[in-house]
Every structure is written in C-alpha cells, then in structure tokens.
Amino acid sequence: MTSIRILAALFISVLVVAPALAQDRRVPSSAAELRLSYAPIVQRVQPAVVNVYAAKVVQNRNPLLDDPIFRRFFGVPGDQPEQMQRSLGSGVMVDPSGLVVTNVHVIEGADQVKVSLSDKREFEAEIVLKDTRSDLAVLRLKDTHEKFPTLDFANSDELMVGDVVLAIGNPFGVGQTVTHGIISALARTQVGITDYQFFIQTDAAINPGNSGGALVDMTGKLAGINTAIFSRSGGSQGIGFAIPANMVRVVVASAKSGGKAVKRPWLGARLQAVTPEIAETLGIKLPNGALVASVAPNSPAARAGLKLSDLIIAIDGQPVEDPNAFDYRFATRPIGGTSEVDVQRAGKTVKLTVPLETAPDTGRSEIVLTSRSPFQGAKVANISPAVADELHLDADTEGVVVTDLADGGTAADLGFQKGDIIVAVNNQKIAKTADLEKATRESNRVWRITLVRGGQQINVTLGG
C-alpha cells in the first residue's frame, strides 16, 4: 500500500527547478528532485496579479422615444433612468510604478476603473492604452508613491506543449484563485478572438473573471494573459486561451514609451492560406505557409523583393504555418530593424530581408458621423496604408471604410459592420470621409447605399 501511495505521488507531483532554464526539461531521477507543492511559485507571483473592476453608466432608454410620432404628441421626458453596469476581470502588474495589463474587453466603455491588489487595497486607475487588435489594455494606478511587485516576461516562443502552467485570476468574483494545468497546444490560429490569432491553449481551469489574469510558467514568469475560454455552458471545460507574452511585451513597451497606439511593422502584402488544392498546384507535400496574393508598390515587401505567388515558410528561422502565424510573428518584431523571411519560389528557397517600418497613415481623416442618417454613430476613415493594414484590406483599396460603431447607434442597429467600405450613397460616389459626411447631412426619406463587405458588393435601400 505504501508503494502504491508513493507511485501515486510521483504521478501527481511536478518537477520545479527554479534556477533551471526553460529548455532543461527531463524526467526526475530521484525523490529529492520532486516538489509536492506549487506554493513557492504562487507566493512569489500572486502579489503581482490584481483584480480589475470596471463600471459605466447607461441610460434605460425607452425605444418609443425613437418614434417621431410619439415624440411629437408626448414630448421627451427630461430625466431618463440610469443604471450602473459593472464588469469584473483580472490584470497583471508589469511595472513597479503601477502599470497593469489586462484585456480590452474587461474595461471597454468604462467610466470608472478600479484595481484591487492581493492585499485588498484598492486604487483608481486610468486607461493608458487600448489595443483592440490584440485585446490588450494597459492601466496606470492613480495617486501612488510606492513600488509594486511585478512579473517578468517569459519568452513565449520557448514554450512547449506539455509544459506545466498556473492560471491566476478572479473567477466569478470569488477572489484570487490559482489553477494548474499544462500547455495543451501552441499557435492556435483559428480561434477568431482578436486580429492576431495566435494563442496558447491550456487546460488550466479558466472561468469568467479570469480574463486579463496571468498564465505563468514554472520559473514564475508571465507566459501569457488569459483571455478566453471555449465553453458550451459558460464554465471551464478545459479549453482556455492566452495571449502569448511576446505580444504582451510589445503592447506594454508602447505604453511605457508614452504612445497612444501600438506601432507595429507593416509588410505591405496580402497573404492567403494554402489549401490542399493550392499545395497540389505548387507541388508541395503539406498545405503549410502563407501565400503572397498581392504586393503594394513601394511597400517593405516590394522593396525586399517579395513577389506574387511566393510562399512564405519561415520568418527569422521560425516556421510559418499559415498567414495568422506570420502576422503574429511579424507584429512582435521591433520597429527599425529587419527580418529575414524564407520563401519558396519555383521550387527553391529564397531568403529576403524585410525592413521593419510602420505603415504610412497620412490622410486618414477619421470622423464620427452624428447627423440623423443610417450612418449615425459610425466612425469612418479614408483608407490609408495603415488603415488597410489594421482592417486586413488590400493595400491598394481606396475609399471610405467603417472603423468602429457606437453601441446603440443607428449604424450598429442597422447592421453595418467594421470593415464595410462605403462606395456610394444615393448614387453619389463616396471617395473620402468629407463626401460621406456631406451626404449624411441631407434630408432623405429613402437611402440607397452601395457598400463592399468581404470583397462582395451589396446594394441596400432603406426607408421609402
């Protein structure tokens, strides 16, 4: 019986060698190398994990107020009832001065944000930077005069499937909680949560409230930020996703430098996935890599010599499985240097050097449309190279595109989507945002709108 207990303990134990590097993975050779508790790691990292509380005031607006006949006969009530909406998530202290990283969806639209530390102290926080493309936000604690405990970043490219990890956060608002598991998969690219689809998958229990919390490795470093779960019931079913630390590092660095937006390299080429049919046409065994579908003139891709139908198979020595994998790895490269890209061209491997520079953003002219029209509440912009890069449009696309939609706005209610390209309104061509703004100021009973969505032209008639 004793031997059975010892054998069981061996199976449920984990090897923790704090000074060892991540790549020193081996089977323990003696009982002395086995540790039966994660407590030393938890005690070291727990103070750097915080709870994030966000609140916003919303009006309970009666839908009858949108009816002009109702408004004419009954007027508009002066005081509309207000309600406080609250959301709960987690965060990680990444700088001793009080910088906290969390998810954008935790604090989206908040009028007030508070951060609660592991010692129960609460601080008001301001939003320093929001990066919706990665779903990461950086907060700064207000009125602080001390140094806070932080977590160092792991190199998430060194993680391996099977590595033990801990998830720390505030699930369901019950208080700070630690769960453990392993890395179930790496480079998950078909999740559809953010623009950069490249996630760490783990079976460590993650539940609502864990968003923005820490996924840490066995050296106590931040491996990723927990951001989503796959669940049919709303609870943990052993499939959780975390944003890799290397992407988090880029966003935090932008916040520290005082930037209001994250600056990332621009390739200037549109990539597409390799299907089995395309692989057969190209004469390759496996449908891996990112196929170049178009190259913008004078872009970094063009200057590097990238050509139509080139197949990108690696960047800086790291394999590229699909376009999402390339986008993530390219986006984590520092501005100002170069990256070496391996491509297959006519059966041969060619190495190209791509300069790492930001996309030109001149002439964006982004505005929010407020006039009474089907576009009320839509934020639109001229399509600069930067806008095309952000919205995954062809680099040579021209016109006016929807970049955001206000909740409860007419445009959102009518079903307009981010990325819609407005081509014409009432037979008037829309070439720039000023054209669309002018069109929305006209009084029309019927609106005929032509837009492009996902490459398909759509004609819409409203009113009448």
> What backbone torsions phi and psi does residue 412 show, to the nearest 5 degrees?
-65, -40
Q: Annotated binding residue at 155?
A: no
d(CA 159, CA 269): 29
Q: What is the DSSP string of 154-181?
A: P-GGG--TT-EEEEEE-GGGS--EEEEE
Active site amino acids: 105, 135, 211
Written as one letter, the residue type at 72 is R
> Among the residues of 285-409, which ranges form H helices?
300-304, 323-331, 385-390
Q: Annotated binding residue at 145?
A: no
Q: For the chain, give me the number of helices (H) and strands (E)?
A: 11, 27
| Dihedral over Cα of 177, 229, 272, 345: its sign | positive
Q: Is 273 exposed, middle or buried (0-12, 13-18, 19+ CB in 10 A)?
A: middle
d(CA 209, CA 175): 10
d(CA 170, CA 284): 47
Name the residue among 105, 321, 318 with its Cα closest to residue 198: 321
Q: Annotated binding residue at 105?
A: yes
Q: Annotated binding residue at 384?
A: no
Q: Annotated binding residue at 210?
A: yes
Q: Which residues are annotated as a binding site?
A: 105, 135, 209-211
Binding-site annotation: residue ranges for substrate: 105, 135, 209-211
